[in-house]
């Protein structure tokens, strides 16, 4: 027997009837939101998904609807309780009814939502991030940095148009202590999309110029509390934890917390609280300097008074001490003078005796030297007289000179006609050479 042929509508209607008959109650569902879209009519359309253990592969998916009447009741309560808006990536526990529409198919209608579950998941995510930071050994790195004595050069991560940033700068500039600060803005998106990427880029720019700053301030003025979850990421937390400068975070209100609050050096409530912290630190350092100055002045005054009193005591004792020293040195000088006189006399006597002995020896030696010199002189005189040219001429020798006065030593190369002058013992003769 052939089965009846159904139209698609009839089949979908049959499915709807079966689902309504079998699943007519309300069920609590744990799932992750993969899509959240608020329509202009006030209805909120979501998509629930479930992933496998690895967190990468989808194993289930279902459409969901929060009708406008229910949305306006549940969602404000949820956001006040969690500080978060419904968004993709959030894990929720919702109460749903199962519905099926012939045209739109299977869908879940949300009738209630459990904020405690989402809060627990958010806390669990923060715990997981903090545990990873601990495992990496960087969770307390920034907290361990000492605050500089002077925090004048401030690198600010904030939105350029945020009122909180303006309040921060105004408070620094008009502080009651006359402290001077140099704040430079590194603009970043602080709510909405791209928060993580924008803040990371600003922190990287600061790290490239870390030696130009004393402290980093991350502030977020105003904005929805629900946007704070954008700061609960491991990359942001790791960047803040490893920043080489102390980081002051003021991105939420007093009851709000993010992972950055746990890893930053100091957490404050608001941008103005961050400015107040910097001002108070500077005021404390100024007060410490004033205390040191007062202490130094007091110690210097005491030291000066002590030295003045000591000088007065020394001045009073100086004449008597000088007299004693003068007397002692006088006696010593007298003794040394007497000893010196006796030593000088003995030395003079010794020198006189040596001089007499040396004088006798010098006289005898001089006489001997003089006698030897006379003998040598007589010998030299005899030899000189023997070499006298006049004596040689008298013996018959003669000296012949050329016309230019040169002594003629050889007859060679004397051309005929040369005039010669011959010197004899009793005169000179002039002759002319006729032949060679």
Q: Are 377 and 398 in contact (CB under 8 A)?
A: no
Q: What's the confidence (pLDDT) of residue 204?
A: 96
The phi, psi pair for 403, rounded to 5°, reads -60, -25
Residues β-bridged to residue 429: 422
Cα→Cα distances 328→237, 322, 331, 334, 366, Å: 83, 10, 5, 10, 55
Q: Are 184 and 168 in contact (CB under 8 A)?
A: no
CATH architecture label of 134-283: 3-Layer(aba) Sandwich (3.40)
Along the 436 residues of the chain, how does pLDDT read in single tens digits? 566 788 888 888 888 888 888 888 899 999 988 889 999 999 999 999 998 877 778 899 999 999 999 999 999 998 888 777 888 878 889 999 999 988 888 899 999 999 888 777 777 788 888 899 999 999 999 999 999 988 999 999 999 988 889 999 999 999 999 999 999 999 999 887 788 999 999 999 999 999 999 999 999 876 555 567 778 889 999 999 999 999 999 986 655 678 899 999 999 988 999 999 999 999 999 888 888 888 888 898 899 988 888 888 888 887 777 778 778 888 888 888 888 888 888 888 888 888 878 777 777 887 888 888 888 888 888 787 777 777 777 777 788 888 887 887 777 768 888 888 888 878 888 888 887 5
Q: Are 19 and 4 in contact (CB under 8 A)?
A: no
Locate the domains of the chain by residue range.
8-113, 134-283, 391-432
Global pTM reads 0.55
Residue 165's nearest CA partner among 202, 208, 119 is 202
The superfamily in CATH containing domain 8-113 is Nucleic acid-binding proteins (2.40.50.140)
User: Cα separation of 199 and 189, whole Å?
Assistant: 7
Residues β-bridged to residue 217: 156, 248
Q: How many CA atoms lie less than 13 Å away from 229 in the CB half-sphere? A: 19
Strand 419-424 versus strand 399-402 pairing type: antiparallel
The phi, psi pair for 103, rounded to 5°, reads -95, -40
Structure tokens at 398: 């003669």
């Amino acid at each position: 027997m052939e089965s009846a042929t159904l139209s698609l509508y009839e089949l979908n209607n049959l499915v709807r009837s079966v689902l309504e008959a079998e699943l007519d109650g309300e069920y609590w569902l744990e799932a992750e939101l993969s899509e959240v879209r608020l329509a202009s009519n006030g209805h909120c359309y979501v998509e629930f998904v479930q992933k496998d253990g690895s967190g990468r592969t989808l194993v289930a998916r279902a459409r969901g609807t929060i009708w406008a009447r229910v949305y306006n009741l549940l969602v404000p309560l949820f956001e006040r309780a969690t500080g978060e808006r419904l968004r993709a990536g959030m894990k929720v526990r919702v109460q749903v009814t199962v519905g099926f529409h012939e045209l739109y198919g299977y869908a879940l209608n949300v009738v209630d939502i459990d904020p405690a579950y989402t809060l627990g998941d958010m806390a669990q995510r923060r715990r997981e991030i903090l545990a990873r930071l601990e495992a990496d050994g960087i969770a307390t790195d920034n907290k361990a940095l000492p605050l500089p004595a002077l925090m004048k050069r401030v690198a600010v991560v904030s939105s350029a148009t945020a009122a909180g940033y303006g309040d921060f700068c105004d408070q620094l500039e008009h502080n009651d202590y006359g402290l001077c600060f140099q704040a430079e803005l590194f603009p970043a998106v602080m709510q909405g999309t791209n928060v993580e990427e924008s803040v990371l880029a600003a922190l990287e720019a600061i790290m490239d110029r870390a030696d130009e700053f004393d402290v980093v301030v991350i502030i977020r003025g105003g904005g929805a509390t629900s946007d704070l979850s954008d700061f609960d990421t491991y990359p942001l937390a790791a960047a803040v934890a490893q920043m080489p400068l102390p980081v002051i975070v003021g991105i939420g209100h007093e009851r709000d917390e993010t992972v950055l609050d746990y890893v930053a050096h100091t957490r404050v409530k608001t941008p103005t609280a961050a400015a107040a912290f910097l001002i108070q630190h500077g005021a404390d350092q100024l007060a410490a300097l004033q205390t040191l100055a007062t202490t130094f002045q007091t110690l210097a005054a005491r030291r000066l008074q002590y030295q003045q009193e000591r000088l007065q005591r020394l001045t009073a004792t100086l004449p008597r001490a000088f007299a004693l020293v003068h007397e002692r040195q006088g006696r010593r000088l007298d003794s040394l003078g007497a000893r010196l006189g006796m030593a000088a006399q003995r030395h003079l006597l010794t020198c006189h005796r040596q001089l007499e002995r040396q004088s006798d020896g010098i006289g005898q030696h001089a006489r001997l030297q003089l006698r030897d010199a006379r003998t040598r002189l007589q010998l030299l005189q005899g030899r000189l007289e023997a070499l006298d040219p006049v004596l040689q001429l008298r013996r018959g020798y003669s000296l012949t000179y050329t016309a230019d006065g040169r002594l003629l030593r050889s007859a060679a190369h004397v051309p005929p006609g040369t005039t010669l002058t011959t010197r004899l013992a009793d005169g000179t003769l002039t002759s002319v050479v006729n032949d060679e």
